Amino acid sequence: MLDSLFAGGRMADLALAALLVETLVSLWLARRLGRGPGVAAILCNAGAGAGLLLALRAALTGAGATMVAAGLVSALVAHLGEVVLRWRRRTVEAPRLTQTAKAPREVRNGRY
């Protein structure tokens, strides 16, 4: 049974469905709570995962190297979009420490 899930690409379909649910819940929570990652970051993250899962599905079903490469390239583009968003947010939110200011606890504990 497990072999047929992988051979037919159904495992990738199930993972894509789970990714869709996760994305919708993340968007809902971000909107409802007003915090967490932004919409663009959530969508870029989901896009990268979807691209990888589509490449997996293409490989499992024998769709050919072009389809596998297309999935991988789309995952790369989405990942780079998220990296750009993180770098922009990091430069905007980067705390400036003066002699009178203390670093946040996360920075002091090495978890930043």
**In this structure, what token pair is assigned to residue 19?**
């990714």
Of 108, 92, 87, 101, the closest CA to residue 41 belongs to 87
85-101: buried (b, 16+ CB within 10 Å) or exposed (e) per residue?
A: beeeeeeeeeeeeeeee
- Stated pTM of the model: 0.75
The string of pLDDT tens digits covering residues 42-89 is 999 999 999 999 999 999 999 999 999 999 999 999 999 999 998 887
The string of pLDDT tens digits covering residues 4-26 is 777 778 899 999 999 999 999 99
- Indicate the pLDDT class of residue 36, thresholds 50, 70 and 90: confident
Of 81, 5, 10, 12, the closest CA to residue 50 belongs to 12
CA trace torsion 83, 75, 66, 55 (10° rounding):
150
- For the chain, the structural domain boundaries read 2-94
